[in-house]
Amino acid sequence: MELRLYDTLTREKRLFAPLDRNHVRMYVCGPTVYDFAHIGNARPVIVFDVLFRLLRHLYGADHVTYIRNITDVDDKINDRAVRDFPGLPLNEAIRKVTEKTAAQFHADVAALGCRTPSYEPRATDFVLPRADGKADMVTLIKQLIARGHAYEANGEVLFDTQSMPDYGALSGRKLEEQRAGARVAVDAHKKNAADFVLWKQSSAAEPGWESPWGRGRPGWHIECSAMSAAYLGDVFDIHGGGLDLIFPHHENEIAQSRCAHGTKTMANYWMHNGFLEVEGQKMSKSLGNFVTIRDLLDVIPGDVVRLQMLMTHYRRPIDWTERSTSLATSELEEWAESLHSHFNFPNEHKPAEVAEALSDDLNTSAAIAVLRELHVAAKKGGLKEKLVFSSNCKLLGFKSLHKPGLFRFGVSGMNVGDVAIGTYEPLIKKLRAAIANDAPNDVRAAILSKFQKDGLTVQESNNGDLTIVRGNEADANRKIQELVDARLAARNAKNFKESDRIRDELAALGIVLKDGKDANGKLSTTWEVAR
């Protein structure tokens, strides 16, 4: 099977040929941890997780290295630290901000079904020369100065864009279009309008490191050049990120890395996912449609977010709508109904069907179409067809298809009498999400406590169905069984009026009856909670 990927730099779909088949290397720009990640941030995380899974499938799990960095030095982080922890020293406040937001990011992407990258370096660990000899920012800047690609001015170190003849190839921006003039203001100390900061001074109130150019901190772009080189070398296979990073971030990464190392390229393939809108509008706080990953995971399973993202090809824009959320939830319920007994069954089938679809530039929308065909076959077929469907679902990263109840709508109740159980639907929705997303115990306990104060409990079945129960579950089950037995006795006595009355009483308790005959031909009745 041949893998073809669209390369932003060459603007064509190319056959993927790794530099070393025994060590495929990929770098993706990760979060700047100053606040909770929004759903636009979730898209590259999911897209490149699918690529990571595909590469592991094609080349072997031990032969793929995936780096996703964490940017934990940034002016936005400084501002957040001062705002949230005004009484603490800045460095301590910054650490609190970055640890909290990084931990939340990790919890969020785990709930989305994303694998942990091979390494997840923090920018602050790669500013100064390291004991292990891995690449660092200060050394890269020194190399750029020595090679004539950077200069000191006004306390800063800047990259000289005119020293690189093909600067702008990734974005298609020509240097002459960025010269001083009516549209571009140039700082007095810059040689060229497009020159960008590699190192800048830090005040006493800002985080800083001692360097050959005084106490300061790195520019944004140099961080990724250092961290990618530290783990993947001067040239590697794939560099990915969102479309918004093409310029200036990735353009400047290429410039720094190539000029520091003296190479013709930085990465052989550049991949970028498209933008995300919400209900047809650009997401922004001013429009009131700014949604974090955490906002979604509080009310829907991560698998739903994942499917919603994968329904659209990664290079196309995606419109995030409530309708698409609803459709994705319903479809996952159907898949899980077919798989719940088999999803975690021992499975040796290799998911070649979805892998083939993904081999055409990570075509996830085509892969979802393949899953739909496999689902039809699984419903009609036997164990083999279900295992084929299951293995292909797992290649795309779905993780909760053993519990169809987690994708249901509405509320079920047992022995609740005249309780208006519909009023508990928002809480049940949150509880389903908490279970599906492996939320901490205290989150689940907080939700359950709201039922308990009303004298209710919530029962979870093996397939993930949630049922509101009044009082003790065992007592409720015993009461229901007594009514079922009494109705069966009335049926056997042909007292149909009493049988119908008990049936109506059970229906009011949220119980559905199924009448039949046992192995000896005698009347029998089984029951279940209404969905």
Task: Give pLDDT tens digits for 155-192.
Answer: 999 999 999 999 999 999 877 665 433 333 457 789 99
Residue 362 pLDDT > 60:
yes
Residue 35 pLDDT > 60:
yes
* pLDDT attached to residue 374: 98
Average pLDDT over residues 85-89: 89
Residue 526 pLDDT > 50:
yes
**Domains in the chain, start-ordered, CATH in brackets?**
4-276 (3.40.50.620), 319-404 (1.20.120), 410-531 (no CATH)
Q: How confident is the model at residue 116 (pLDDT cuts 50, 70, 90)?
A: very high
Residue 122 pLDDT > 80:
yes
Closest to 74 in 3D by CA, of 2, 122, 134, 116: 122
Residue 473 pLDDT > 80:
no
Average pLDDT over residues 36-54: 97
* pLDDT attached to residue 527: 86
pTM for this prediction = 0.89
Q: Decide if 312 contacts 275 (C-beta within 8 A).
A: no
What DSSP assignment string belongs to 125-153? GGSS--TT----HHHHHHHHHHTTSEEEE
308/251 Cα distance (integer angstroms): 30
Residue 471 pLDDT > 80:
no
Position with higher pLDDT, 364 vs 479: 364
474/226 Cα distance (integer angstroms): 61
- pLDDT per residue over 311-343, tens digit each? 999 999 999 999 999 999 999 999 999 999 999
* pLDDT attached to residue 178: 56
* pLDDT attached to residue 509: 67
Task: State the Cα torsion 407-404-524-501 to the nearest 10°.
Answer: -10
- Tell how far CA 524 is from the center of its chain: 48
Residue 75 pLDDT > 90:
no
Which region among 137-146, 505-514, 520-529 has the lowest average model confidence (pLDDT)?
505-514
Q: How confident is the model at residue 109 (pLDDT cuts 50, 70, 90)?
A: very high
Q: Decide if 184 contacts 199 (C-beta within 8 A).
A: no
Residue 375 pLDDT > 80:
yes
* pLDDT attached to residue 470: 84
Q: Which of 198-212, 254-268, 462-476 is most confident?
A: 254-268
Q: How confident is the model at residue 251 (pLDDT cuts 50, 70, 90)?
A: very high
**HEC profile for 202-257?**
CCCCCCCECCCCCCEEECHHHHHHHHHHHHHCCCEEEEEEEHHHHHHHHHHHHHHH
Position with higher pLDDT, 472 vs 129: 129
239/233 Cα distance (integer angstroms): 13
Q: How confident is the model at residue 472 (pLDDT cuts 50, 70, 90)?
A: low
- pLDDT per residue over 129-157, tens digit each? 999 999 999 999 999 999 999 999 999 99
Average pLDDT over residues 38-48: 97
Q: How confident is the model at residue 355 (pLDDT cuts 50, 70, 90)?
A: very high
Residue length of the chain: 531
Which region among 171-180, 462-471, 517-526 has the lowest average model confidence (pLDDT)?
171-180
Above pLDDT 70, what percent of the chain?
96
Strand order in the sheet with 412-414: 412-414, 466-470, 456-460
Which region among 49-63, 167-181, 274-288, 312-326 has the lowest average model confidence (pLDDT)?
167-181
Average pLDDT over residues 111-133: 97
Residue 370 pLDDT > 90:
yes
68/117 Cα distance (integer angstroms): 6
* pLDDT attached to residue 184: 39
138/199 Cα distance (integer angstroms): 9
- Mean pLDDT over the full length of the chain: 92
